[in-house]
Amino acid sequence: MLLFASVRSKVPARHDQEEKMKEFFGIPEYTRTPEGAFSWQHIAFVGSLLAIMIILGIVLGLKYRRKPMKSKNRVIIIAAILIDAVEIIKLVSFGINAGGFSFLRTNLPLFLCSIQLIALPVAAFSRGRLKEASLDFVFIFGLLGAIAGTVGAIQNYNAYPVLGIHNVASGITHSIAGFSSLFIGISGMASMKKKNIPIVYAILLFFCAAAYIANKIFDYNYMFLVRDDGTPYSILTGLTCGNQVLYTAGVVVLFLVYVALFYLIYYFFTRKKRKD
């Protein structure tokens, strides 16, 4: 009798655990009301991710600074595998909920904060100047994308619970990108060679072109090339008086200017070291 009672007592606990897992993955859909952007839950979750990202980036970056490039690259390989593994788990979860994968058309890694899903593996597994330029690209955009995809992901935190697969997976992938950017910069993997600047620009323009084509095919707004959607690009919308061609060109130009400024600031602060 005691054994039977013990078994019965475990059944509700197992059921509760299953329900919690379903709720986390949003199966069949979330029942909790989203806490909202900049709620204490959002701030606490994002703050924890950013703290871990920064601490690991600094500690490991300093630890590997004097180690050979091969050892440093192993860290980037692990980061590349993890960032895509987490994203795949998220997409599979979305597919189960949606009953198919038609949703992929609006979940391609073609936003400024998500292109590291492609750029980071290229940096990890390529060679030669492409590797150097890809590492520089992750260094330049990784941290910016991490902040934009966590602190600035207002729409996500207004639409989904903080501790749901949507926001947890997104927070982790963006934090991995931010960590990689810090690690590449601190460990000395970033070459920032002038001869590779055209390749960095080519990588950026490739993503812009891919986003533009995807927007035309799927009627979406990758890279915010179509409209500002309430982002700071609303300033650009006002300056261009809503002209679509000027607005799109303006967004791309801002990307290019950001890269140029990043290089100039980097060269300014490292000029003495480079001379030495």
Q: Is residue 9 part of a domain?
A: no
Q: Is residue 19 part of a domain?
A: no
Q: State the pLDDT at residue 153.
A: 86
Q: How far apart are CA 61 and CA 71, in angstroms?
A: 12
Q: Is residue 258 part of a domain?
A: yes
Q: What is the mean pLDDT of residues 63-74?
A: 96
Q: Is residue 199 part of a domain?
A: yes
Burial label for 237, CB within 10 Å (0-12, 13-18, 19+), is middle
Phi/psi of residue 174, each to 5°? -70, -35
Q: For residue 40, name the pLDDT band (cuts at 50, 70, 90).
A: very high
CA distance to 8, 11, 24, 32, 43, per residue, from 17 (Å): 15, 10, 11, 16, 26
Q: Which helix (H) or strand (E) holds 157?
A: helix 154-159
Q: Is residue 261 part of a domain?
A: yes
Structural domain span for residue 127 = 39-275
Q: How far apart are CA 264 and CA 258, in angstroms?
A: 10
What tokens appear for 250 in the block?
A: 């303006």
- Between 113-117, 236-240, 271-275, the lowest mean confidence (pLDDT) is in 271-275
Q: What is the mean pLDDT of residues 26-40?
A: 86
- The pLDDT tens digits of the residues spanning 100-146 come to 888 889 999 999 889 999 999 999 999 999 999 999 999 999 999 99
- The pLDDT tens digits of the residues spanning 166-219 come to 999 999 999 999 999 999 999 999 999 999 999 999 999 999 999 999 999 999
Single pTM value for the model:
0.90
| Inter-helix orientation angle 165-187/116-125, to 10° | 40
What total number of domains does the chain contain?
1
Mean pLDDT of the chain: 90
Share of the chain above pLDDT 70, in %: 93
Q: Is residue 216 part of a domain?
A: yes
Question: Which runs of E-coded beta strand occur in 74-232?
Answer: none
Q: For residue 18, name the pLDDT band (cuts at 50, 70, 90).
A: confident
Q: Is residue 87 part of a domain?
A: yes
Q: Is residue 7 part of a domain?
A: no
Q: Are 176 and 169 in contact (CB under 8 A)?
A: no
